[in-house]
Amino acid sequence: MPEVPAVPGVALSAAVAEALAPDGPLARAVPAFETRDAQLALAAAVSAALADGGVLLAEAGTGTGKTLAYLIPAILSRHRVLVSTGTKNLQEQIYFKDLPVLREALGVPFTATCMKGRGNYLCLQRFESWRDSGAAAMGNDAYYIRMIDEWTRESESGDRAELEDLPEDVPFWKEIAASAENCIGAECPRHQDCYVTRMRQRAAESDLVIVNHHLLCADAAVRQSAYGEVIPDCHYAVVDEAHQLEDVATQYFGRAVTSYRLDDLARDIERALARNLVADAQRADDLGTGVGRLRDHARAFFAAVQALRTGTGTFAEGRVRIGPAHTARAGEEGLALEGALEAIEADIALARDLPEEVLALGRRAHDVREDIRFLLRADDPAFVYFLEVRGRGVYLRASPVDVSEIIREVLLERMKTVVLTSATLTTDGSFQYLRGRLGVRDAVELRLDSEFDYARQAILYLPRRMPDPRSPQFATAAAGEIVEILKRTEGRAFVLFTSYSNLREVRAFAERELDYPILVQGTAPRTALLTEFKATPNAVLFATSSFWQGVDVAGDALSCVIIDKLPFASPGDPIVAARIEAIAARGGSAFGEYQVPLAVLALKQGLGRLLRHRLDRGVLAVLDPRLRSMGYGRRFLASLPPARVTHSLEDIERFFQQAEP
Ligand code: SF4
């Protein structure tokens, strides 16, 4: 992109304030636009950060209009700004809704590219060889091939989201997706037409690059190995939903070997052989034998890995923590598998005139072998090692215990400016917890309260008496309270649980006692459940972790959010356990420094689902008595929205009666 001089700080602040003024261009272009003090304050802080550099930590409560408050300065700054959101949905909302409005309203020309993870895009090279191999010519796949074929003739982006009729879980997508592992880069015959190449070129010339945290972290992780990255160099970044960054980074900066990864490698080698890509007959024969050995040893290895579950005490959500003593028990099978991979690497290295596609398979075999070796050693104190069984897949993983250094290195120190923002960044009114987790040293801090009038719009119900949440009586008592609250709110509620077992118990009781439609997480995809919830009068949604954040239901359909227990992360989870140990090892109090703030942020997120608009009203309920009975409860109470507190169900009734015209 040609260098355009950046707008000086003072001029940028003035231009941003003018854009958001009561008689400014936004007010003229957007019918319901209102100037909001918090939005102006955030926009001013973002402008200063973009002009002066450094890190800005900005907590902007619900209703602030945070997205426009960072997009407008980003556009007017004339810098190339990377914007990272928590989900693909938020990305699409910015790209397809907010940016067109701003383009129109600001009258400033700018370009933008929306980039998702590489796995969302079609790989033309892999698609064509899959299509031509005949492997997909049967059944439904043949229908989808025709559909994708036609689509490739018109699609500009190659993003599968455009294929509305392609089911989310079609098994063949991963065989034709443009994932980094399978890409042969500049050697690819389709490199010039490739959707990812074109997206990267567009992004490199764009003023705004809209990504999500998954891509941001995946890209930074491959950048460390200098292969496969797609995000162009940017020096200015805005990270929205920044409270999610630690989790996503933990996922991408670890190492993992899965049964799927080995299966995919074996299958891709077989395909290469079937397409006669290895001309040397002797090597092709050897590779054919090698793949058979690879499959056998992979099977034996993952059976041995799965057997490690027996005798390990720490089991949470399907994860089992392991150490060198456990992995030693799969050592023999691991060595045999490493040997099979090494033989494949050697066969590929010895063969002559191989196309890049086959050489890439050799590199993949090498990378898996290195990862297996690292995972079986299980002795790097910076990592926590665990295994996970999900569906039919077995995962052997190592995750970094602390990602703060990584985030500092790959994000904070690489950029001139980083804005970290979210509705939930502080606990006890302080950014200290988040600074520690994300490796933020010097930063400007800004805290803006929600624009909603909680005193008028909401009521907070804390039942007077509840049993200890760890006692067997808790679920029954919670079920009774939940039914009584739902009768008064006439459904229209999210009931958020910290565990499936409580959800199941309460659900059985609620279904007997209530006539309202009860939707349950896990019975349909998340988006389908949300659409049904919005469309079904008086619906109630019972859900666990994935509905605690990123869910937006404005209006009457959601008039109540009930939370059963304080959302402490399970100390049985290997990553949480390792983090607790690391804090204890340096003499800190893991409970006070880590577990409580983490749970406070989760609670703030959950309760934040209720009010999404100035006209929304409703009841928040937290059934956990520890809020009032334990010393640390004060830290949670101090972080709750400033709604009137009640202990009486009748108050809930009265609150809704007042609302009626
Ligand atoms: S460059 Fe990579 S992603 Fe693009 S078509 Fe070729 S192999 Fe596929």
Q: Are residues 571 and 530 in the same domain?
A: yes
Q: What is the pLDDT of residue 661?
A: 44
Confidence check: pLDDT of 172 > 90: no
pLDDT average, residue stretch 213-222: 90
Domain boundary among the residues 400, 422, 439 is at 400
- What is the distance of C-alpha 153 from the center of its chain? 32
Let me know if residue 589 belongs to a domain: yes
Q: Are residues 544 and 631 in the same domain?
A: yes
Let me know if residue 613 belongs to a domain: yes
Decide: 596 in ligand 1 pocket, CB within 6 A. Answer: no
Cα 56 to middle of ligand 1, angstroms: 37
Q: Band the pLDDT of 552: cuts 50, 70, 90.
A: confident
Q: What is the pLDDT of residue 499?
A: 86
Q: Are residues 300 and 368 in the same domain?
A: yes
Q: What single letter denotes the amino acid at residue 438? A: L
Cα 91 to middle of ligand 1, angstroms: 24
Q: Nearest to residue 469, comparing CAs of 595, 626, 607, 601? A: 626
Let me know if residue 309 belongs to a domain: yes
Q: Are residues 395 and 278 in the same domain?
A: yes
595 near 635, Cβ under 8 Å?
A: no
Cα 394 to middle of ligand 1, angstroms: 28
Give the Cβ contact number of residue 523 at 10 Å.
Answer: 10
Pocket-testing residue among 155, 188, 363, ligand 1, by greatest number of atoms within 8 A of Cβ: 188
pLDDT average, residue stretch 571-585: 95
The pLDDT tens digits of the residues spanning 334-382 come to 999 999 999 999 999 988 888 888 999 999 999 999 999 999 999 999 9
The pLDDT tens digits of the residues spanning 185-200 come to 888 999 999 999 999 9
Decide: 177 in ligand 1 pocket, CB within 6 A. Answer: no
Let me know if residue 55 belongs to a domain: yes
Atom of ligand 1 nearest to the CA of 126: 8
The CATH number that applies at residue 315 is 1.10.275.40
Q: What is the pLDDT of residue 316?
A: 45
Q: Are residues 617 and 516 in the same domain?
A: yes
| CA–CA gap between residue 602 and residue 47 (Å, rounded) | 29
Let me know if residue 421 belongs to a domain: yes
Atom of ligand 1 nearest to the CA of 186: 1
Domain boundary among the residues 379, 400, 421 is at 400
Cα 351 to middle of ligand 1, angstroms: 23
Range of the domain at 72: 9-111+404-448
Decide: 184 in ligand 1 pocket, CB within 6 A. Answer: yes
| CA–CA gap between residue 83 and residue 157 (Å, rounded) | 19
One-character DSSP codes across 356-424: HHHHHHHHHHHHHHHHHHHHHH---TTEEEEEEEETTEEEEEEEES--HHHHIIIIITT-SEEEEEES-
Confidence check: pLDDT of 17 > 90: yes
Decide: 191 in ligand 1 pocket, CB within 6 A. Answer: yes
Confidence check: pLDDT of 311 > 60: no
Cα 178 to middle of ligand 1, angstroms: 6
Q: Are residues 417 and 394 in the same domain?
A: no
For the chain, the domain total comes to 3
Pick 69 or 308 by higher pLDDT.
69
Q: Are residues 544 and 438 in the same domain?
A: no
Q: Nearest to residue 45, comparing CAs of 26, 58, 27? A: 58
Decide: 124 in ligand 1 pocket, CB within 6 A. Answer: yes
The CATH number that applies at residue 509 is 3.40.50.300
Confidence check: pLDDT of 170 > 90: no
Decide: 125 in ligand 1 pocket, CB within 6 A. Answer: yes
Decide: 188 in ligand 1 pocket, CB within 6 A. Answer: yes
Let me know if residue 19 belongs to a domain: yes
Cβ contacts of 538 within 8 Å, gap of 6 or more: 490, 491, 492, 516, 517
Let me know if residue 168 belongs to a domain: no
Let me know if residue 460 belongs to a domain: yes
Reading the block at residue 78, the tokens are: 């004339």
Q: Are residues 585 and 531 in the same domain?
A: yes
Q: Are residues 430 and 465 in the same domain?
A: no
Q: Are residues 327 and 267 in the same domain?
A: yes
Q: Band the pLDDT of 4: cuts 50, 70, 90.
A: low
Domain boundary among the residues 400, 435, 465 is at 400
Cα 198 to middle of ligand 1, angstroms: 11
Q: What is the pLDDT of residue 416?
A: 96
Q: Are residues 495 and 364 in the same domain?
A: no
Q: Are residues 486 and 632 in the same domain?
A: yes
Reading the block at residue 548, the tokens are: 């605690």
Across all residues in the chain, what is the average pLDDT?
A: 90
Torsion of CA 32, 33, 37, 43, to 10 degrees: 140
pLDDT average, residue stretch 497-521: 92
Cβ contacts of 644 within 8 Å, gap of 6 or more: 455, 458, 459, 460
